[in-house]
Structure 1
Amino acid sequence: MRRSSSRAVLYTGILGIGILAGLAGPALADPDLANNTTPTPGTDIMLELGAAARVAPAFPGADNYTLYPAPIIKLRFLKLPIFGTVADSSKNVGLGLYPAFNFEGERDAADHSELRGLRTVKWAIELGAGVRYTGDFVEAYAEVRRGFNGHHGFVGELGIDAVARPSDRLKLKLGPRLSFADSEYMSTYFGVSSGEATASGGRLSAYDAGGGFRDMGLQFGAEYAWSDRITLYGDAGYRRLVGDAADSPIVKRAGSENQFTAGLGLTYRFSWNVDGK
């Protein structure tokens, strides 16, 4: 099965490269609607739900790419009984917590001749949490996730973006990224056991991948408010594998240290009143 690594991060959503030209959408009744996510009185939940088409390496460290669909989920506003407002993205400045999700598809050597001899790594779900700071001209975040099924390690990411708003509809972001993983994750995707080395016919040497920094790179994005309910998203990024990930024979002999990603999608904003009033 081809890799299908997507991120649907509640509250933050995916970053975007936008459609920077030819976006002559319908006129907004309010010129500030692109940045206005304030719920109407009585609203308890405001969600943006949508989908994106993404291009990414076929497996961690691969030099070939695959196209796949990915969900987009953004929690804009949440009000709970007793607790009150627990999430509100209309607050443009401050700290916020969010749950984080990632999916790594199955890596099967039968689908990739360059991986001959390696065991199959089942699909994995990563669940965790993050903290984000949002300012007028800068955004930063840090998140940690734990894997289930295909791997049981911990992975995390740090990022900071410079933010520009050329118009009321368009928001641009650009900034560096740094990711890390523990030895459980690294050995699963970048390690090679002695048995696997033998099964590969000697093409891949035995390798014990330890935890540490996994990659570093740069991400560019934008989001465009087509209307008060429809938003366009996308992203384009470059990561370079470092440390034990870069030194893995899977990367040296069967892949590449250079990893590129891109995506484009849209969401529709929904609002609900829990008690129906």
Structure 2
Amino acid sequence: MNGLRLVFALAGIMAAVPASAQSNPAEPAAPVPATPDPAFDTQRDSFTVGAGVAVLPDYEGSDDYRFIPAVQGRGQVSGISFFTRGASLYVDLIPQAQGETVDFALGPLVAANLSRTNRRVIDDPAIRALPQLDTAIEVGGFAGISKTGVVTSAYDVLSARVAYQRDVAGSHDSYVITPSIDYLTPLSTRNLVGISASMQFVGDGWAQQYFGITPGASTASGLAPYDLDGGLKSYSLSILGAQSLEGDIRSGFALFGAVSYTRLLGDFADSPIVTVDGSPNQWVGAIGIGYTF
């Protein structure tokens, strides 16, 4: 689910946004410098792992919510970075040059779509009566560009990215395209906040798999048959935040939290899965702790 990917991106962001390289955990949090600190090494190897709990809809379009545990990570080795977003893994194969404020990203991704693959977590009886779906394994790539030092300091980051992925497991045999914009800024050496916006376009097979209802599924569930084509499915907005527990957001333990809102659109919002037994307004929240080393 797109909203879940956005929320748990924060678990890896804490190592990716530079704060002051001269902070002292024994001293009060210092303001972020207005100019870059030459001691900061953008190519240093690092790894962040975050673990927490999230609340999210039972399936995309549901108005029933459940809690799940989640673990996410981000790292950089020899200039090659990788990060997870929900059940997706991205690998950026273009290293950022030392001292450069513009960074290009390009690389592969692999994702798993688990929506409605487990009837036991679905509370609504009509949706539970629909056929259980197979897990979609989606493979593709992404490209993007980011600029460091945009508005608030030398260390805030504005990024734009577009990702394309296609099912290779024969589940929905279609594609997903996700353009997104992210803005992150450290407030001091100990904390940061961010906002994110994205849209999601899907193919015909994806649309029918997750929001359509075949005649057989209609008989089993009592919901009216429904056919739809692919297109713009939704937009999402997220707010993120992190607070270091050790004085420097780039290392050690930190708390993180995030809230994401997704709005289903058009034929997707008009599906009986949404209008009869769900909601076009989808919320995801998460809180947890991360460690960077």
Shift of 1:247: 1.4
Asked if the contact 1:54–1:68 (Cα under 8 Å) also holds between the matched residues in 2, the reply is yes
Residue 196 of structure 1 corresponds to which residue in structure 2? 217
Shift of 1:15: 6.2
SS at match of 1:66: strand
Q: 1:48 to 1:175 in 2, by over 3 A?
A: closer
Residue 119 of structure 1 corresponds to which residue in structure 2? 131
SS at match of 2:130: coil
Residue 222 of structure 1 corresponds to which residue in structure 2? 241
Residue 105 of structure 2 corresponds to which residue in structure 1? 96
Distance in 1, matches of 2:283 and 2:41, equals 31
Residue 132 of structure 1 corresponds to which residue in structure 2? 144
Residue 63 of structure 1 corresponds to which residue in structure 2? 63
> Normalising by structure 2, what TM-score?
0.70
Map Cα deviations across residues 14-41 of structure 1 (whole Å, 9 max, x no partner). Answer: 668xxxxxxxx944799679x956355x
Unpaired segments of 5 or more residues in structure 2? 15-23, 81-92, 151-157
Distance in 2, matches of 1:175 and 1:79, equals 25
Distance in 1, matches of 2:209 and 2:229, equals 10
Asked if the contact 1:14–1:235 (Cα under 8 Å) also holds between the matched residues in 2, the reply is no
Distance in 2, matches of 1:164 and 1:133, equals 16
Q: 1:187 to 1:131 in 2, by over 3 A?
A: same
Aligned-CA RMSD value: 3.6
Shift of 1:10: 12
Unpaired segments of 5 or more residues in structure 1? 17-24, 271-277
Map Cα deviations across residues 193-228 of structure 1 (whole Å, 9 max, x no partner). Answer: 01111222xx31111121101111321113344444
SS at match of 1:185: helix
Correspondence for 2:167 among 147, 161, 166: 147
Distance in 2, matches of 1:116 and 1:225, equals 42
Asked if the contact 1:7–1:103 (Cα under 8 Å) also holds between the matched residues in 2, the reply is no
Map Cα deviations across residues 131-160 of structure 1 (whole Å, 9 max, x no partner). Answer: 232222322221122234443321122222
Q: 1:58 to 1:160 in 2, by over 3 A?
A: same
Correspondence for 1:87 among 91, 95, 119: 95
Asked if the contact 2:43–2:79 (Cα under 8 Å) also holds between the matched residues in 1, the reply is no
SS at match of 1:167: coil
Asked if the contact 2:8–2:286 (Cα under 8 Å) also holds between the matched residues in 1, the reply is no
Q: 1:128 to 1:71 in 2, by over 3 A?
A: farther
Distance in 1, matches of 2:234 and 2:281, equals 9
Asked if the contact 1:10–1:75 (Cα under 8 Å) also holds between the matched residues in 2, the reply is no
Q: 1:121 to 1:15 in 2, by over 3 A?
A: farther
> Normalising by structure 1, what TM-score?
0.74
Distance in 2, matches of 1:9 and 1:263, equals 7
Shift of 1:177: 2.0
Q: 1:204 to 1:254 in 2, by over 3 A?
A: same
Q: 1:267 to 1:127 in 2, by over 3 A?
A: farther
Distance in 1, matches of 2:257 and 2:107, equals 20
Distance in 1, matches of 2:103 and 2:54, equals 30
SS at match of 2:182: strand
Correspondence for 2:42 among 21, 38, 43: 38
Shift of 1:53: 1.9
Asked if the contact 1:153–1:184 (Cα under 8 Å) also holds between the matched residues in 2, the reply is yes
Distance in 1, matches of 2:201 and 2:113, equals 16
SS at match of 2:275: helix
Distance in 2, matches of 1:224 and 1:129, equals 31
Residue-pair matches, total: 248
Distance in 2, matches of 1:267 and 1:92, equals 26
Residue 235 of structure 1 corresponds to which residue in structure 2? 258
Q: 2:283 matched to 1:260?
A: yes
Q: 1:7 to 1:268 in 2, by over 3 A?
A: same
- Tell me which amino acid in the other structure corresponds to 1:100: L
